[in-house]
Amino acid sequence: MTATTGKDTSTITLGTGGGGDVDVDVVIIGAGFSGIRMLIETRRLGLTARLIEAGSDVGGTWYWNKYPGARTDSQAWVYGFPLDEVRNDWRWEERFATQPQTHAYIRHVTDTFDLWSDITLDTRVGSAVFDDDARTWTVTTDGGETISSKAVITATGQLSLPYYPSFDGLSDFEGDWYQTQNWPDDGVDFRGKRVAIVGTGATAVQVIPIVAEDAAHLSVFQRTPNYVLPARNDKLSEHDVDVIRTNFDEIFDRAFSQPFGMDIPPAAGRIAADCTPEQQQQVLDRGWEAGGFRYLFETFDDLLVEQSTNDLAAEFIRKKIRSIVRDPETAEKLCPKDYPLGGKRPPLGHYYYETFNRPNVTLVDIGETPIRIEPKGIRAGDEFHEVDAIIFATGYDAITGTLDQIDIRGRDGRVLRERWAEGPKTHLGMMVDGFPNLFMVAGPQTPFANIPVVAEYCVGWLSRLLRVMHERGADTAEPTTEAVQEFSQLVEAVLDATVLRQGGKRSWFLGTNIPGKPAAAVMWLGGVGAFREVAEAEVDGGYGKVVMESATANVSG
Ligand code: NAP
């Protein structure tokens, strides 16, 4: 498998830092799945590393998001790494792992590889500045520490900076309010309470059915309806787990070829136009019943690129909503109508639509009416909803948000967030011109896909790059400006080949969910397999688009 590393067990050194002493070879920012996997790799390469993490534990997303119902939308067995050291001793419990299970997994990986001594928790990186003369980075933290290193590797997550719109009147609200990304460790008891939830994205879709079971009443404030696909979660038997372990390599090979990085065949092998209307409905029904993202990937291969196929699949979902939700008015409000399926990332529901049949659940359509919070509840136009508690599930300043919070300065003092003012531009989502030895794992413009699989590939690619730097005696590596332009144009072109950009609905993977943020192709929408082909071509071409320099010479291949 191209993505896995660690076959070459010899260790490397990373340049000379231009003669300057450094504290460590590499500073890694973020202890989520990407950062932990990178730290395993730097150990294997024999490099010294410090990993700085803002949270009080490892886990990233899976540390912060303790809200009720939080679980993966990828199959549990591919929400992890194809590492021999952890393949046989981890027991996957369910098809979609809960937050505690997923958090336990990443802690288990951290323990197995004995990584804790290189990890500093409860600490945020404030700045990372490249010194042109010494050819080193200086990283400063909010703990007042300064660390010098030869490279900085960001693993700050794609959805890690919560977005909280400022709602008028919130400071006067007399009840309790909660943010999903900052959930109390001990949970919240909603029994007997009138609860409101603002937002109906993937997070809210997980919270709503759970809170509805406890709350006296739940009012769901929906601005834009989503196409929610049924997850169809299941417990895994011992036999299931044996099958996963036995076929682990094959499963990950499949995930590395599947567009979304999941354990689903890479293609359905049919397009809608090849089927009769009856066959089309049969195929869509099978995909719907199979659960999870199978509806997107096991039905028609042209679903995300051919408008008529997308319309067909979207209409099928609307029919399902109308058949599940008993109140026709509520069903109609839940039907997305003016943007394509996939234009916003479809959430997976665990009896989501069914929840609106409960007598204690009300859907409030705020598509045309911004809400105002008052001391006793929420006003939406003429309607007032008295509530005891509000849950905000309003999303993230995705992809670039967290990186923008760090003052990252490259060659000649150029500032990364200024460079990316119109949207991120990278070489293969892993490097930026003018920022030598700044590497990114699962960064902007990497595939829109199951994160651990993307992280595994990026780590493997960077590991091979570091080896080549070692072989060439390079201190630094950075892509050419042309390479960054070329790749960014390709990312745009790939997006334009889909039906996803049109519709203009607020979507985090287009950067359009944050008021004022420029719309940009912040992610690679061509699938993991196609991304790998582009990235492997760079390796096969001897890293021709990457400039490598030693203290005295250009050592590019
Ligand atoms: P999101 O999809 O961006 O949803 C945010 C919600 O808040 C939307 O319904 C949005 O409405 C609403 N909202 C934002 N500002 C508002 C305002 N001023 N007034 C009223 N409503 C407002 O965010 P998310 O649900 O946190 O999910 C983000 C991504 O995280 C997902 O797409 C997914 O990739 C990931 N995620 C994954 C999992 C998983 O894998 N298990 C679980 C949760 C999240 P509009 O749509 O109208 O903007």
Contact status, residue 549 vs residue 475, Cβ threshold 8 Å? yes
Of the pLDDT bands very low, low, confident and very high (cuts 50, 70, 90), residue 15 is confident
| Distance between Cα 261 and ligand 1 center (Å) | 21
Instruction: Please work out whether the CB of residue 159 comes within 6 Å of at least one atom of ligand 1.
Output: yes
In angstroms, the CA 296 to CA 305 distance is: 12
pLDDT tens digits for 261-309? 999 999 999 999 999 999 999 999 999 999 999 999 999 999 999 999 9
- pLDDT the model gives residue 7: 64
To test the pocket of ligand 1, the residue of 333, 394, 396, 512 to mutate (highest count of ligand atoms within 8 Å of its CB) is: 394
What local confidence, expressed as pLDDT, does residue 505 receive? 76
Burial of 14 from C-beta contacts in 10 A (0-12 / 13-18 / 19+): buried
Mutate to test the pocket of ligand 1, among 65, 197, 508 (most ligand atoms within 8 A of CB): 508
What's the token pair of residue 531? 């991304």
* 391-403: pLDDT as tens digits: 999 999 999 999 9
Report the pLDDT value the prediction gives residue 525, as an integer from 0 to 100.
95
| Distance between Cα 506 and ligand 1 center (Å) | 9
> Distance, CA 386 to ligand 1 centroid (Å)?
24
Is the pLDDT assigned to residue 2 strictly greater than 60? no
235 by Cβ neighbours in 10 Å (0-12 / 13-18 / 19+) ranks as exposed
Using the CB atoms, write b or e for 513-530: b if 16+ within 10 Å.
Answer: bbeebeebbbbbbbbbbb
- What is the Cα–Cα distance from 241 to 219, expressed in whole angstroms? 39
The CA-to-CA distance between both ends of the chain, in Å, stands at 25
Is the minimum distance from the CB of 72 to ligand 1 under 6 angstroms? yes
DSSP-derived secondary structure for 30-95: --SHHHHHHHHHHHHHT--EEEE-SSSSS-THHHH---TT-B-SS-GGGSS---HHHHSS----BS
| pLDDT tens-digit readout, 470-511 | 999 999 999 999 999 999 999 999 999 999 887 557 999 998
223: nearest Cα among 420, 371, 399: 371
Over range 250-268, report the average pLDDT: 96
- Residue 450 in this model has a pLDDT that exceeds 60: yes
What is the torsion angle, in degrees rounded to the nearest 10, for the CA atoms of residue 379, residue 384, residue 389 and residue 393? -50
Mutate which of 159, 178, 385, 510 for ligand 1? The one with the most ligand atoms within 8 Å of its CB, which is: 159
The model's pLDDT over 71-95, given as tens digits with 9 standing for 90+, comes to 999 999 999 999 999 988 899 999 9
List CB contacts of 334: < 8 A, sequence separation 6 or more.
222, 225, 321, 325, 353, 356, 363
Residue with tokens 């410090």: 50
Q: Are 8 and 86 in contact (CB under 8 A)?
A: no
**Ligand 1 atom closest to 181 (CA):** 26
Q: Does residue 2 or residue 53 have the better pLDDT?
A: 53
Choice among 108-112, 260-264, 552-556 with the minimum mean pLDDT: 552-556
Instruction: State the average pLDDT over residues 178-187.
Output: 95
pLDDT of residue 5: 53
Residue 424: pLDDT over 50 = yes
Helix (H, G, I), strand (E, B) or coil at 385: strand
Query: Any idea which of 17-26, 259-268, 363-372 has the lowest mean pLDDT?
Result: 17-26
Question: Is residue 192 pLDDT above 80, yes or no?
Answer: yes
Structural domains present in the chain = 17-161+398-549 (3.50.50.60)
Q: Is the pTM of this model over 0.75?
A: yes
Q: What is the pLDDT of residue 19?
A: 47
The whole-chain average pLDDT of the chain stands at 95
Q: State the distance from the centre of ligand 1 to the C-alpha of 160, rounded, in angstroms.
A: 12
Question: Could you tell me what percent of the chain has a pLDDT over 90?
Answer: 93
Helix (H, G, I), strand (E, B) or coil at 491: helix
C-beta neighbour count of 489 within 10 angstroms: 12
Q: How crowded is residue 64: how many other Cβ atoms within 10 Å of its Cβ?
A: 23
The DSSP letter of residue 474 is -
